Amino acid sequence: MYLRCTMGLNNILFVMTLLLYGAASMKSQAYFNKTGELPCHFTNSQNISLDELVVFWQDQDKLVLYELYRGKENPQNVHRKYKGRTSFDKDNWTLRLHNIQIKDKGLYQCFVHHKGPKGLVPMHQMNSDLSVLANFSQPEIMVTSNRTENSGIINLTCSSIQGYPEPKEMYFLVKTENSSTKYDTVMKKSQNNVTELYNVSISLSFSVPEASNVSIFCVLQLESMKLPSLPYNIETNKVERKESEQTKERVRYHETERSDEAQCVNISKTASGDNSTTQF
Ligand X SMILES: *[C@@H]1O[C@H](CO)[C@@H](O)[C@H](O)[C@H]1NC(C)=O
Binding mask 81-100 for ligand X (x = CB under 6 A): --------x-xx-x------
- Return the residue of 15, 238, 241, 246 that touches ligand X, per CB under 6 A: 238
Least CB distance from residue 64 to ligand X, whole Å? Answer: 20
Count, residues in the chain: 280
Least CB distance from residue 160 to ligand X, whole Å? Answer: 9
Least CB distance from residue 60 to ligand X, whole Å? Answer: 20
Q: Report if residue 245 touches ligand X, rule: CB under 6 A.
A: no
Q: Report if residue 128 touches ligand X, rule: CB under 6 A.
A: no
- Return the residue of 163, 213, 219, 234 that touches ligand X, per CB under 6 A: 213
**Sign of the dihedral defined by the CA atoms of residues 38, 43, 49, 52, in that order:** negative
**CB 55: neighbour CB atoms within 10 A?**
24
Interface segment toward ligand X; rule CB under 6 A; list 55-63, 74-82, 163-171, 234-242: 234-242
- Return the residue of 139, 156, 236, 269 that touches ligand X, per CB under 6 A: 236
Q: Report if residue 254 touches ligand X, rule: CB under 6 A.
A: yes
Contact 233, 278 (CB under 8 A): yes
* CB of 125 or CB of 213, closer to ligand X: 213
Q: Which residues contact 194 (CB under 8 A, 6 or more apart)?
A: none
Among residues 252, 258, 250, the alpha carbon closest in space to that of 278 is found at 258
List of residues contacting ligand X (CB under 6 A): 31, 33-34, 37, 39, 47, 49, 89, 91-92, 94, 135, 143-146, 155, 161, 176-178, 190-195, 199, 205, 211-213, 233, 235-238, 251-252, 254, 261, 264, 266, 273-278
